[in-house]
Homo-oligomer: A and B are copies of this chain.
Amino acid sequence: MSDLNIYHVDLGERSYDIHIQFESLASIGEAIRRLFTVPSRCLIVSNDVVAPLYLGTVRKSLETSGWHVETFVLPDGEKYKNTATWMQVMDSLMACKLSRNEPIIALGGGVVGDMTGFAASCYRRGIPFIQVPTTLLAQVDSSVGGKTAINHAHGKNMIGAFYQPRLVWIDPSVLKTLEIRELRAGVAELIKYGLIRDVQFFSYLEKNVQQLLALDSKVVSQVILTSCRHKAEVVMADETEQGMRALLNLGHTFGHAIESMTHYTRYLHGEAVALGTLMAARLSHMLGHSAENLEPRIKRIYEATGLPTVIPEFTVNEWLDAMGHDKKNVGSRIRYILLKEIGDSFIAEDITDENIRTLIASYL
């Protein structure tokens, strides 16, 4: 237990700690108790894959610390990140009559965290929210920063809130039960931090990706801490995405389009983002923003990670529709994140339909 790392996210009265430590799941009850005057009731939200593995440990830890624990288990999967499931979480909060000062705890990956966070933000106009992320993607990205949301039938993450957790509790040892494909998808988000703002971290990942996939504890600790630091720095500078926070969306405009066109079934979010990032790299070079063509180097690390690198085929119009390029949308251009080099990214607001048509045509 000497491997403890705590990163403090400073957001004024919305500040909180990210607590990173192997085998720490069983200590969470006491940690949450310290945030409150007295333990009372709490609701743990998890999914039917994570709950059988870790809900018992978390529940026992909380009960030992004096908490009365209620639970709600959702089906696993992005397709349940919708208004219907969110309403079930709200019903569950109503049923256990949580007060404004009693916490809701998200135990799971990005879907559980996003949905629980949005429920926390709007139940009684906001109750304390604790993130216990159990996937690599959630540990290095979605659990930090306060973006919560659910999907609308016509768009991903369209209904949500900026709502910061009170605590992010990361136990990397839970990654040992994560499907390798999920692990790889999480690595895609790590690579993203290297690409947008840290070339040294990108090089570190190039050298250590196999150790990372084998869950070498030193490498895992290092990459989780580094990426939480990157995420937190960006969020502290721009909590509600007025500017630079948008850099975190590298590969996301294309990635979301890919997820949408394949109905959220063929690719995991991280996989779609990897594909989208390859497209952003090609677009960057095509428009002369990156002198060097960065695509081959990025493709190599994705291949080494075991991520997909072949862009799926759709017509140009399918792409434009899926990305929200429509005629009515004049004056509110879509922002793309582009690369100058590895570790140096920027927001481009001047991308035209023609640019996108040319890019898509290059894959056909």
Residues of A at under 8 Å CB distance from B?
38, 40-41, 83, 87, 90-91, 94-95, 97, 99, 101-102, 118, 121-126, 147-149, 152, 154-155, 158-162, 240, 324, 326, 328-329, 331-332
Contact = CB atoms under 8 A, between A and B. Distances in A.
Nearest to A93: B158
Nearest to A99: B332
Contact of A125 (B87, B90, B102, B147): B147
Given A125-B160, A125-B240, 15 more contacts: A40-B331, A90-B159, A95-B154, A97-B324, A97-B329, A99-B332, A121-B161, A122-B122, A123-B159, A124-B160, A125-B148, A125-B149, A125-B161, A126-B161, A161-B161
A300 B124 CA distance: 34
Nearest to A68: B328
Contacts of A147: 125
State the majority secondary structure of interface residues on A: mixed
Quick one: copies of this chain in the complex? 2
A94 B155 contact: yes
A363 B170 CA distance: 55
Contacts of A158: 90, 94, 123-124
Nearest to A146: B125
A40 B124 CA distance: 33
Contacts of A162: 125-126
A6 to B, nearest CB: 26
A90 B149 contact: no
A126 B163 CA distance: 11
Question: By CB atoms of chain B within 10 A, which of A38, A97, A118 has the most?
Answer: A97
Given A94-B152, A154-B94, A126 B159 contact: no
Contacts of A40: 331-332
Contacts of A87: 83
Nearest to A147: B125
A97 B328 contact: yes
B326 A97 contact: yes
A249 to B, nearest CB: 13
A159 B152 CA distance: 18
A234 to B, nearest CB: 16
Contacts of A102: 332
Nearest to A159: B122
5 contacts: A38-B331, A94-B158, A97-B324, A97-B326, A125-B240
A87 to B, nearest CB: 6
A322 B161 CA distance: 30
A122 B118 CA distance: 9
A16 to B, nearest CB: 17
